[in-house]
Amino acid sequence: MEKRVKINILGLKIVLKNPFAISNNQIFLTKNGKTKRLFFVKGLKLKYYGGNNRIEFIDKIPRMKNVKILCGENCKIQIGSSDYTIKNLEINARAENSVLEIGKNFSVESGCIDFHGEPNLRVKIGNDCQFGCDIRFDPADGHTMYNADNKEILNTPQNIEIGNHVWLCRNVSVLKGTCIPDNCVAGMGSIVTGRFQEEGRLIAGIPAKQIDSEKYKKINWTRMPNKSFLECNTIHIVLHSTFLFAPKTTINIAF
């Protein structure tokens, strides 16, 4: 059944929303090959502007706090299970055929993924990604810039792809056409655009560039603070003196 009804009154064309149309908006949990329909998810607010939208959680529903999803028409959103909390995230997918895929063990402090009303766009975020505060994803600009002579559009919307184990620090913006490979870090305040090729690199700046100084040629990262990381990567050897009451000596060997 059509979701909109077109009528003509004295030559005036009017489009009305059909109150009898079936919206077919659904939320699912898929686990071990079995799918269960859900009607409520704690910490998640949903608003539909059309029909045939599918929101799917894989294996387990992650903890969510103040997460909002806006769906247009025929949108597909998939979110993996996570050991961490997804906080203060707005997903604006009011465009038709928007696709968002988020892998497992995703976390974010605050951010927005905005399709800006442009249809047929896809944003993919891999497994074990950590996003800080004030993160923005913009696969489209929201307005059109064009050549004044031939009307050619100069800022065409493009998909975004983030690899596995990527850390976006505070206040990072990811623009249309961006591709960030596995194990990379985007520095605080960076505006990331374009396709990066090498895994395990530090990307920073406005616009963001790969940092090529020697010590950043091959990096990785962990969610642990420095102190915990050093403790986990240090062997503690205690040497006991053969003399009575002599102090013991500890040698730390980092690896």
pLDDT digits (tens, 9 = 90+) for 71-129: 999 999 999 999 999 999 999 999 999 999 999 999 999 999 999 999 999 999 999 99
Report which of 118, 156, 103, 160 is spatially closest to residue 136, judged by C-alpha positions.
160
Q: Which region among 167-176, 183-192, 226-235 has the lowest average model confidence (pLDDT)?
A: 226-235
9 or 157, greater pLDDT? 157
pLDDT band at 20 (very low <50, low <70, confident <90, very high): very low
Decide if pLDDT at 246 tops 60: no
Decide if pLDDT at 1 tops 50: no
What is the separation of C-alpha 66 from the centre of its chain, rounded to a whole number of angstroms? 15
* Burial profile 233-244: b = 16 or more Cβ within 10 angstroms, e = fewer: eeeeeeeeeeee
pLDDT at 18: 56
Domain 16-223: homologous superfamily in CATH: Hexapeptide repeat proteins (2.160.10.10)
* CB-based contact 108:135 (threshold 8 Å): yes
pLDDT at 146: 97
5-14, 98-107, 230-239 — which one is most confidently predicted on average?
98-107
Average pLDDT value for residue range 127-137: 98
Measured CA to CA, the distance from residue 136 to residue 173 in angstroms comes to 5
As given in the structure block, the two tokens for residue 39 are: 């009607």
- Give the domain ranges of the chain: 16-223
Residue 91, beta-bridge partner list: 69, 113
Local structure of residue 117 (DSSP, 8 states): T
pLDDT digits (tens, 9 = 90+) for 52-85: 999 999 999 999 999 999 999 999 999 999 999 9
Q: In this prediction, what percent of the chain has a pLDDT beyond 70?
A: 84
Using DSSP bridges, classify how beta strands 234-239 and 249-254 pair: parallel, antiparallel or unpaired.
antiparallel
Report which of 216, 152, 151 is spatially closest to residue 184, judged by C-alpha positions.
216
* CB-based contact 52:74 (threshold 8 Å): yes
Dihedral sign for Cα atoms in the order 32, 37, 43, 44? positive
Measured CA to CA, the distance from residue 83 to residue 63 in angstroms comes to 8
Decide if pLDDT at 243 tops 60: no
